[in-house]
Amino acid sequence: MAVRKFLLPVTSTASAVSALHTGLTLAKRWHAHLQVLHIRTAQEFAPFVGEGMTGAMIEDMMSASERATGARERSLEELFAMAAEEEGVPVGEALRGGDEPSASFTALTGREDELIAHKARLADLTIVPHPQAGEDVAAADALHAVLFDSGRPVLLAPVRLPDTIGKRVAIAWNGTANAASALASVMPFVRQAEAVRILVSDDYRRPGPSGAEVAEYISHHGVTADVVQFYPRRGVTGAGLLAAAGDFGADLMSMGAYSTASRLRQLILGGITRHVLENAQLPVLMNR
């Protein structure tokens, strides 16, 4: 089971740098294709009609919006080309079944969440910039579009590119179906990892298979993993999980997302998924 196609939606140059290098690094590792996707969002100016705005004023606003959109797209494409050159990844369409990495840049116009979810359905893994990188709110929107409407996994890129990705894999396990989906998605990395650790906690656990059962399952794939209990830090389970991954020296972690409550409840009240999204320094593969 190999990873052959990555998708990376980008919206701003501030948050794209680390994500681009993460995607290109993984494309080289898997001899895969990285499709970088930029969505041009169509501006709606109809509400301004009848609000004291003349036709000429609305036309000026539309022209200014188009110029800003074009400038943003050109900046992102230039950033992509520079990153691809630095990483030594050829730019162009993927060679089907080829043994070389490749990358391409695509710009589409439409609803961002809808188009990203649709494109993600036919990607092995979608990489999204970290929401804290450049304070890019749209990066979080892209992540949620993939999680909730694609049926596919998403990889949260770190704010800064680590030296390695996937050599030491931490599996956050709580027994849920979402955690199992994330486990299935991270297995290609697990099979190539130098070390694998399953992280469990009484504060995190839900009805389902135990960490020991996960280790037994992984052993059928020729991989040995240990099981380690983690504990909340300052009463925060998510902080304890990230600390345990850090103690292991993990450069990749998998976890089920929004498995214990609704997304809205977690966004308002907080939760393990939200804490990880806001504080993770390592790449995190999520699924639900």
Q: Which of 100, 108, 103 is nearest to 85 (CA)?
A: 103
For the chain, domains (ranges, CATH) are: 5-43+71-156 (3.40.50.620), 168-287 (3.40.50.620)
- In the chain, % helix, strand, coil (3-state, to 5) comes to 45, 20, 35
**For residue 97, what pLDDT is reported?**
56
Q: At which residue do the structure tokens 């504080």 appear?
A: 279
Residue 180 to residue 286: CA distance in whole angstroms: 10
**For residue 94, what pLDDT is reported?**
61
Give the global pTM. 0.85
Neighbours of 179 (CB within 10 A): 25
Residues 6 or more apart whose CB falls under 8 angstroms from that of 280 comprise 130, 156, 158, 242, 253
Q: At which residue do the structure tokens 């709580």 appear?
A: 174
Q: Which residues of the chain have pLDDT under 70?
A: 1, 42-70, 94-98, 132-139, 259-270
**For residue 127, what pLDDT is reported?**
96
- Taking a C-beta distance cutoff of 8 angstroms, is the pair 156, 277 a contact? yes
Residue 251 to residue 248: CA distance in whole angstroms: 9
